Structure 1
Amino acid sequence: MSLRALLHHFKEMKIYFCIIIGLFILGIVLGANHWNEAIIKEQMKHIQEMASQAKDSEVVEISFFKIIFFNNVKSMVLMVLMGLLFGIMPIISIFTNGLLLGYVGDLQEETWIDLLKGIAPHGILEIPALFIACAYGLRLGVLVIQGIGSVGNDERKMKFKINFIRLSKLMIPLLILLICLLLIAAIIESTISLWLVQS
């Protein structure tokens, strides 16, 4: 299927987008209240390790771009595909991302402009990509559950088969869209966002 078909399919994904955005907002609220700091600090440790790798290279911007882009692509693809395990991974991922953002935002509440400078330029593309990946991962999980529930019922089994084939055909344009969004976001983050934070 084409990118146009994928964008058209977004209309049918409203409930999934609403669930994902709701979980993200819930994560932000709980993160701002320092809920479950152990998970948050583990995520921050991983981010700091990636930043250290980039700083140790000769050309920071190029190294930063490579690390961000490949890490984000790997994470987003996993969010979609691991959705096959009943949609658990996308739910955890979106909630954890919200926790991290809320926690960091609370730590920098007096310098929120600096936080916006560091996130907004690339986040305008990266966050929607995160929502899309998690929403489709969740949809896959629901589809798997429906498939299990269709055992012994020919009508449900046929409906499941049609939906599964249709969603499978959307995977290629979905991954292309995510890669394009993440590529542009990584370029912005390793240049404009990095420059704004350093300034």
Structure 2
Amino acid sequence: MLSFPAFARDLSTIRKALLFALLLFVAGGVIGWIGTGSLQKLLSGQLEGLSKISGSLKESAHPQWSFFQFIFLNNSIKGVLIIFLGAIFGILPALFLLINGGVIGYLIHISAMQGMDLFDLIVKGLLPHGIIEIPAIIIACAFGLQFGWNVISDLFSSAAAREKRSGAWPAFMRQTLRASIWIVILLFVAAIIESTITFSIFS
């Protein structure tokens, strides 16, 4: 179950979903960059909420430990849930990718407008943990999108086609379980980096 080569093979079976997830994330980033009006209010509200949480965590007795706990639990719970919530026609993983990409795009755009050093923001602030965290989230959402597609395919297929596909469900559920474990592991590593290296740089 914990075999990484098996996990890599699982990813090769959902290549289209992975590509679509990546495109949605990038599209979210572009939308966040150019977003105006109500969209801008939504994205700024997301950032304000994160800022308030960050402020309260910094005031705790052990800020780095508090940051690690929050980041890991928040990301890993969402990462696993988004896989299985994808069963609702893949809607929630798609929205999750658009919103998260949008927040990053909006953050970079606002920072650029305020004259901040984008090299520091991206290379020092986002890249150390993001190089692991962002792919893990995209992978989780890709499995969620694939889950939704499988459900849609079964709903709108003939009885014979559903019967033929029924044997594929146990294998896919094993893949989602293995993916859940590896996503939690990857997000654990990302949380360590974010609560140590990134925290130290921006402190």
Give TM class, smaller chain.
over 0.9
CA distance in structure 2 between the aligned counterparts of 1:39 and 1:164, rounded to whole angstroms: 37
> 162, 170, 175: which is aligned to 1:165?
170
CA distance in structure 1 between the aligned counterparts of 2:24 and 2:32, rounded to whole angstroms: 12
User: Where does residue 148 of structure 1 map in the other structure?
Assistant: 155
Shift of 1:56: 2.1
User: Where does residue 94 of structure 2 map in the other structure?
Assistant: 91
User: Where does residue 11 of structure 1 map in the other structure?
Assistant: 12
Does residue 120 of structure 2 align to residue 114 of structure 1? yes
Shift of 1:136: 0.2
User: Where does residue 188 of structure 2 map in the other structure?
Assistant: 183
Counterpart AA for 1:102:
G
Counterpart AA for 1:160:
R
- My pick for the range that moved more, 30-39 or 73-82, is 30-39
CA distance in structure 1 between the aligned counterparts of 2:45 and 2:88, rounded to whole angstroms: 23
User: Where does residue 24 of structure 1 map in the other structure?
Assistant: 25
Structure 1: state its 5+ residue gaps: none
Counterpart AA for 1:80:
I
Q: Is the 8 A contact 1:24 1:94 kept in 2?
A: yes
Does residue 130 of structure 2 align to residue 123 of structure 1? yes
Counterpart AA for 2:86:
G
What SS class does the counterpart of residue 167 from structure 2 fall into?
helix
CA distance in structure 2 between the aligned counterparts of 1:159 and 1:65, rounded to whole angstroms: 45
Counterpart AA for 1:114:
D
CA distance in structure 2 between the aligned counterparts of 1:118 and 1:67, rounded to whole angstroms: 17
User: Where does residue 78 of structure 2 map in the other structure?
Assistant: 75
Q: Is the 8 A contact 2:143 2:176 kept in 1?
A: no
- Count residues with an aligned counterpart: 196
CA distance in structure 1 between the aligned counterparts of 2:22 and 2:162, rounded to whole angstroms: 30
User: Where does residue 201 of structure 2 map in the other structure?
Assistant: 196
CA distance in structure 2 between the aligned counterparts of 1:3 and 1:171, rounded to whole angstroms: 13
CA distance in structure 1 between the aligned counterparts of 2:48 and 2:170, rounded to whole angstroms: 40
Counterpart AA for 1:146:
S
- My pick for the range that moved more, 16-25 or 6-15, is 6-15
TM-score (norm 2): 0.91
CA distance in structure 1 between the aligned counterparts of 2:127 and 2:85, rounded to whole angstroms: 28
TM-score (norm 1): 0.93
CA distance in structure 2 between the aligned counterparts of 1:86 and 1:178, rounded to whole angstroms: 21
Residue deviations 1:148-173, cap 9 Å, x none?
Answer: 123x522x112321221111011221
Residue deviations 1:69-104, cap 9 Å, x none?
Answer: 000011111211110100000000001111101100
Q: Is the 8 A contact 1:91 1:138 kept in 2?
A: yes
What SS class does the counterpart of residue 80 from structure 2 fall into?
helix
Please list, as runs of the form range in 1=range in 2, the aligned pairs for 1:134-145 lying within 5 A after superposition.
134-145=141-152
Runs of 4+ aligned residues of structure 1 deviating over 6 Å after TM superposition are: none
What SS class does the counterpart of residue 118 from structure 1 fall into?
helix
Structure 2: state its 5+ residue gaps: none
Q: Is the 8 A contact 1:77 1:133 kept in 2?
A: yes
Does residue 52 of structure 2 align to residue 49 of structure 1? yes
